[in-house]
Chain A
Amino acid sequence: MNHMWKFSVRRMLIIIPQLLLLSLLVFLMAQAMPGDALTGQINPDLDPQEMQEQREELGLNDPWHIKYADWITSAVRGDLGQSFQFKMPASELIWNRMVNSFWLGVATLIITYLLAIPLGITSGRFNDSLLDSSITGYTYIGFATPIFIFALVMLWIFGYQLGWFPTSGSVAPGSDPGTFEYIVSKINHLLLPAISLGLITTVNTVQYLRSEIIDTKQKDFIITARAKGASESRVYNRHIFRNSLLPIAAFFGFEITGLIGGTVFVERIFGYPGMGDLFIQSVLLRDYTVVTSVVLLFGLASILGALISDIILSLVDPRIRIK
């Protein structure tokens, strides 16, 4: 266990420079976007003089390193600045959205694994059969289908044509928070986006599990188990499945990173007010404080995802720890 601790602490220390570099990149890229929060306001009713004063007040005219220093020091203290567009603290705004995105992420992950495990096992166990080919066929289509088109099609079929799911928002208008109806409505609203996203993101895991199983199948210890007379189902359920699943668990962290990219599109299409939706909206409106905060949090999630993966991997496979 001692090694384990050492590894984890060392691994966590690496995060600090990673985060600093990330924050600097995020900040510089946001600065490079043409325009600022006030440029969209091309309106003769607004006094250009007044706008200059606002720019000055908002610190939009300061050189970048001063802006960065200001931003990073307050960010460390948990103050992400004021959203120009929403006229409220960015952290409060993001917190509201993060809750929605979190539940969407959880639902998507559940669906991803619910699909991936049976499909991957079937595909790996009966590889080169027609069943396997259909499953691989599905994964190829999944790889090739852009999520934003797929989500639109899903919305059209299940939301509008069949009317099985609500088509936008995260909760029915007017429901009282805390009531049972409220929770049901929340779940109902995130099902379709989660399924759409899950159906696409699962293909990675299916493929991975499949090749993992095919690989394990040919390992010596499986042949030994078979030779010892273990039943086919025991071989698969006990030996192969367990061994193949470990690396999948390790990739759980990366799965989170992948999700972020997907949620940006899905939230947009389903009008689901999460972080991804907020991100695009803030980019469009040049709401810098929000853009930088959201990207920073996305980056943070990726870094943490990688951390989780590494720690799980090190638990599973001691060879990694020793290095």
Chain B
Amino acid sequence: MRRSLLTKGLFALFLMLLLTLAACSGGSDDSESDSSDSGEGTDEEQEGGEAEASEDKLYSIEDFSPSASNEGEPIDGGSITYGLVSDTSFEGTLNWNFYDGDPDSQVLKWFDEGLLTYDENYTMTNDGAATYEVSDDNRTFTFTIKDGVNWHDGEPVTAEDWAFAHEVIGHPDYEGPRYSASFQNIEGMDAYHNGEADSISGIEVVDEKTLKVTYKKATPSLLTGGVWIYPMAKHIFGDMKVSEMVESDAVRKNPIGFGPYKVESIVPGESVVLKKNEDYWRGEPRLDEVVIKVINPNTVVQALESGKVDLVSSFPTDQYPDNADLSNVEYLGKIDLAYTYIGFKLGTWDKENKEIKPDPDAKMANKNLRQAMWHAVDNKSVGEKFYNGLRWNATTLIPPSHPAYHDEDNPGREYDPEKAKQLLDEAGYVDTNDDGIREDPDGEELTINFASMSGGDVAEPIANYYIQAWEQVGLNVELLNGRLLEFNTFYDKVGQSGNDDPKVDIYQGAWSVGYDVDPTGLYGREALFNFSRYGSEENDELLAEGVSEKAFDQEVRQEVYNEWQELMVDEVPVFPTLYRSLIVPVNNRIVNYDLYADDMSTGDTYLYELGVTQEEPVTAE
């Protein structure tokens, strides 16, 4: 009997524990939705009070520097651990010409690099291992590799190697993901890719160090990522079949490059040890050794705290507010090349002609309706309440990560529910049956289906917030299928393979943007990823002008893209909601590190200069 009593007692205890846990989580949920309710609430005053009351701090990306503060003198040598933060292990395709996933590129950047570097506007510079010159017609680029640029095995990096990389990627048997539009822009590439020619007519090896590449179309995109900058060691890969290269030991087990560190050993999928490359063309690296280890995003904070990693490849921004005062790390930050947006479905994809097919009768085809929906949402509050200010109100479709092209003077559409109501009234969206919900201009009931992706804790509250905000101006918006959609399902429905789900009226997605600001790949008439299926002559013209020869002049290009940003604010096929920041913690002993150090020459910091001020990592007290 004693036993059963005790068991019962234990059971009761567990039940109580469970209930308390449930109560706790219920409580916090409530408070969260409370704050979002008042966030969408009416007057500023109340909001201010709310912000004061809440314990959450607000941060701003402007308070972060992209460079480590360099306190203290670096010692000679030293070893650091680089945490490769990833849900998935690195695949081990360790060659720029073949790699696919981001984790591999985080390993690659330590031992291999591009021959050219980019400045803060993502434009090619002459500061890297090679220099370039452009011909008068802007179509032919002459590249010269600097002396002393050698592969890790001592062989010089030659123009032949660079041409070889083009030949491999353009080869019919090449299976990697690199054969893109910019390759097709090289003269003679089509014929070579189809197997009609044995060589690429537009590529000429002038001498050991000089390469000449002629492109079909002169476009400023060539300067911002349109040139293939990674050579491939012909003395190693030259005798291999293209289809066998990616599986070879030269990619998997003993990869080489010409970067500041050399690969010493690899444990597939989990770690890599690199030693310094004394022969590095910029100079001898300061560190003796770099160890790269894969760490799970769930444990990254503990790994930093205990000094098990000095640097990380990325950091989950949502963990920052709780760990902002870790004593042994310094947080660096920059504006991420990305934006979140809400899009309106304005047509479908024409599979036959491979272009968008706008539908003038689409539910969202009314411009006033779209403008009103932008005015109705308060993205400033969304950024503050859900992201502690680390994401903030977005204004145009070119994010401020591209300072030269982001139009700072364009305010986008500000939060103004009254304006939204007025716009809807004007367009004839009025409440005809007094249920508090507006009907469409024909007096039919209007229900807007909203597709949104799952992922992260805040995905659902944010989607709910938008729905409530639209309800405040009298629009009935419902989540498609009543719930959030998983990533693959979401993009299937939105139209990643051209089969747009007609039930989707609006959707929330995100884009990361490349070095090149040209938005044609996302908003052009022939872009499959133009999910809103918006097209207009004015849009076509502006996009074409942005990549025309005239636009080689940066001022002209800026003007064109300012006009395009304005057009998008006026037409609202999609509207940007939030810009993002990228926060990366580094151990206090790290000096000479810069978030741009990997590929940019904005500052004067390069990876080979990275150093430490003491032998052991600083740990948290």
Contacts of A128 in B (CB 8 A): 2-3
Contacts of A88 in B (CB 8 A): 247, 252
The listed residue (B10, B273, B299) touching A168 by CB distance below 8 A is B299
A34 and B14 in contact, given A86-B91, A269-B296 (Cβ under 8 angstroms): no
* Shortest Cβ gap from B602 to chain A (Å): 23
Bound-complex Cα distance A168 to B291 (A): 13
Interface 1/0 per residue, A258-300 and B, CB below 8 Å: 0000000000110101000100010011100000000000000
A168 and B295 in contact, given A86-B92, A285-B88 (Cβ under 8 angstroms): yes
Interface 1/0 per residue, A38-63 and B, CB below 8 Å: 01111011111110001000000000
Please determine whether A269 and B298 come into contact, CB atoms closer than 8 angstroms: yes
Please determine whether B91 and A87 come into contact, CB atoms closer than 8 angstroms: yes
* Shortest Cβ gap from A135 to chain B (Å): 12
Please determine whether B177 and A41 come into contact, CB atoms closer than 8 angstroms: yes
Please determine whether B302 and A42 come into contact, CB atoms closer than 8 angstroms: no
Bound-complex Cα distance A96 to B92 (A): 13
Please determine whether B181 and A45 come into contact, CB atoms closer than 8 angstroms: yes
A169 and B303 in contact, given A140-B10, A281-B88 (Cβ under 8 angstroms): no
Q: Determine whether A167 belongs to the interface, using a CB cutoff of 8 Å to chain B.
A: yes
Contacts of B182 in A (CB 8 A): 45
Q: Determine whether A127 belongs to the interface, using a CB cutoff of 8 Å to chain B.
A: yes
Please determine whether B88 and A39 come into contact, CB atoms closer than 8 angstroms: no
A42 and B491 in contact, given A85-B91, A128-B2, A169-B293 (Cβ under 8 angstroms): yes
Q: Determine whether B616 belongs to the interface, using a CB cutoff of 8 Å to chain A.
A: no
Please determine whether B98 and A277 come into contact, CB atoms closer than 8 angstroms: no
The listed residue (A268, A273, A281, A284) touching B270 by CB distance below 8 A is A273
Please determine whether A96 and B268 come into contact, CB atoms closer than 8 angstroms: yes
Q: Determine whether A216 belongs to the interface, using a CB cutoff of 8 Å to chain B.
A: no
State the A residues within 8 Å of B (CB).
Answer: 33-35, 39-42, 44-50, 54, 85-88, 96, 127-128, 132-133, 136-137, 140, 144, 152, 155-156, 159-160, 163, 167-171, 173-174, 176, 268-269, 271, 273, 277, 281, 284-286
A87 and B93 in contact, given A44-B529, A167-B299, A273-B269 (Cβ under 8 angstroms): yes
Contacts of A42 in B (CB 8 A): 491, 496, 529
Bound-complex Cα distance A252 to B520 (A): 61
- Which chain B residue lies CB-closest to A132? B3
Q: Determine whether B284 belongs to the interface, using a CB cutoff of 8 Å to chain A.
A: no
- Which chain A residue lies CB-closest to B516? A45
The listed residue (A156, A169, A173, A286) touching B273 by CB distance below 8 A is A173
Contacts of B293 in A (CB 8 A): 168-169, 173
The listed residue (A50, A155, A159, A170) touching B267 by CB distance below 8 A is A170
Bound-complex Cα distance A94 to B272 (A): 20
Sample of 7 A–B contacts (CB below 8 Å): A34-B489, A86-B92, A133-B3, A133-B6, A152-B298, A168-B270, A173-B273
A163 and B306 in contact, given A127-B3, A171-B267, A273-B270 (Cβ under 8 angstroms): yes
Within 8 A of A (CB), among B497-546: 497-498, 514, 520-522, 527-529
Contacts of B87 in A (CB 8 A): 281, 284
Q: Determine whether B246 belongs to the interface, using a CB cutoff of 8 Å to chain A.
A: yes
Contacts of B187 in A (CB 8 A): none
Contacts of A132 in B (CB 8 A): 3
Bound-complex Cα distance A156 to B296 (A): 13
Contacts of A49 in B (CB 8 A): 354
Please determine whether B246 and A87 come into contact, CB atoms closer than 8 angstroms: yes
A48 and B528 in contact, given A160-B306, A173-B271, A286-B488 (Cβ under 8 angstroms): yes
Bound-complex Cα distance A132 to B4 (A): 12
Q: Determine whether B414 belongs to the interface, using a CB cutoff of 8 Å to chain A.
A: no
- Which chain B residue lies CB-closest to A176? B265
Contacts of B270 in A (CB 8 A): 168-171, 173, 271, 273
Contacts of B514 in A (CB 8 A): 44-45
Please determine whether B177 and A167 come into contact, CB atoms closer than 8 angstroms: no
Bound-complex Cα distance A136 to B487 (A): 43
Please determine whether B491 and A39 come into contact, CB atoms closer than 8 angstroms: yes
Contacts of A41 in B (CB 8 A): 177
Contacts of B491 in A (CB 8 A): 35, 39, 42
Bound-complex Cα distance A284 to B89 (A): 12
Contacts of A127 in B (CB 8 A): 3
Please determine whether B294 and A271 come into contact, CB atoms closer than 8 angstroms: yes
Bound-complex Cα distance A173 to B246 (A): 24
* Residue from the set A34, A96, A163, A170 with the largest chain B CB neighbour count within 10 Å: A34
Interface 1/0 per residue, B274-318 and A, CB below 8 Å: 000000000000000001111110110011011010000000000
Interface 1/0 per residue, B77-111 and A, CB below 8 Å: 00000000001110111000010110000000000
Bound-complex Cα distance A152 to B91 (A): 25
Within 8 A of A (CB), among B323-371: 354
Please determine whether B177 and A46 come into contact, CB atoms closer than 8 angstroms: yes
Please determine whether A173 and B296 come into contact, CB atoms closer than 8 angstroms: no
Q: Determine whether B56 belongs to the interface, using a CB cutoff of 8 Å to chain A.
A: no
Please determine whether B267 and A85 come into contact, CB atoms closer than 8 angstroms: no
Please determine whether A44 and B521 come into contact, CB atoms closer than 8 angstroms: yes
Bound-complex Cα distance A147 to B252 (A): 34
Contacts of A46 in B (CB 8 A): 177, 180
Please determine whether A174 and B91 come into contact, CB atoms closer than 8 angstroms: no
* Shortest Cβ gap from A146 to chain B (Å): 12
Bound-complex Cα distance A137 to B101 (A): 47
Please determine whether B295 and A271 come into contact, CB atoms closer than 8 angstroms: yes
- Which chain B residue lies CB-closest to A170? B270
Please determine whether A87 and B98 come into contact, CB atoms closer than 8 angstroms: yes
* Residue from the set A41, A54, A168 with the largest chain B CB neighbour count within 10 Å: A168
Contacts of A167 in B (CB 8 A): 295, 299, 302-303, 308
Please determine whether B177 and A39 come into contact, CB atoms closer than 8 angstroms: no
* Shortest Cβ gap from A226 to chain B (Å): 23
Bound-complex Cα distance A46 to B184 (A): 11
Q: Determine whether B179 belongs to the interface, using a CB cutoff of 8 Å to chain A.
A: yes
Contacts of A137 in B (CB 8 A): 10
Bound-complex Cα distance A281 to B88 (A): 5
* Shortest Cβ gap from A236 to chain B (Å): 20
The listed residue (A34, A44, A47) touching B486 by CB distance below 8 A is A34
The listed residue (B6, B272, B496) touching A39 by CB distance below 8 A is B496
* Shortest Cβ gap from A133 to chain B (Å): 5
Bound-complex Cα distance A50 to B294 (A): 32
Q: Determine whether B478 belongs to the interface, using a CB cutoff of 8 Å to chain A.
A: no
Please determine whether B294 and A39 come into contact, CB atoms closer than 8 angstroms: no
Q: Determine whether B432 belongs to the interface, using a CB cutoff of 8 Å to chain A.
A: no
The listed residue (A35, A85, A169, A171) touching B100 by CB distance below 8 A is A85
Across the A-B interface, the 9 shortest Cβ-Cβ residue pairs: A44-B521, A35-B488, A173-B271, A174-B273, A160-B302, A34-B488, A169-B270, A128-B3, A34-B489
Q: Determine whether B425 belongs to the interface, using a CB cutoff of 8 Å to chain A.
A: no
Please determine whether A85 and B3 come into contact, CB atoms closer than 8 angstroms: no
The listed residue (B93, B100, B246, B296) touching A271 by CB distance below 8 A is B296
- Which chain B residue lies CB-closest to A128? B3
Q: Determine whether B42 belongs to the interface, using a CB cutoff of 8 Å to chain A.
A: no
Contacts of B269 in A (CB 8 A): 96, 273
Q: Determine whether B615 belongs to the interface, using a CB cutoff of 8 Å to chain A.
A: no
* Shortest Cβ gap from A149 to chain B (Å): 11
Bound-complex Cα distance A283 to B487 (A): 12
A160 and B180 in contact, given A42-B529, A128-B3, A277-B89 (Cβ under 8 angstroms): no
Q: Determine whether B7 belongs to the interface, using a CB cutoff of 8 Å to chain A.
A: yes
A268 and B296 in contact, given A86-B91, A128-B2, A171-B267 (Cβ under 8 angstroms): yes
Please determine whether B529 and A39 come into contact, CB atoms closer than 8 angstroms: no
Please determine whether A169 and B3 come into contact, CB atoms closer than 8 angstroms: no
- Which chain A residue lies CB-closest to B3? A128
- Which chain B residue lies CB-closest to A36? B488
- Apart from A54-B175, A96-B269, A167-B302, what 11 extra A-B contacts exist at CB < 8 Å? A44-B514, A46-B177, A50-B179, A87-B98, A128-B2, A160-B302, A160-B306, A160-B308, A167-B303, A168-B296, A271-B270
* Shortest Cβ gap from B498 to chain A (Å): 8
Q: Determine whether B120 belongs to the interface, using a CB cutoff of 8 Å to chain A.
A: no
Contacts of A176 in B (CB 8 A): 265
Contacts of A34 in B (CB 8 A): 486, 488-489, 492
- Which chain A residue lies CB-closest to B493? A34
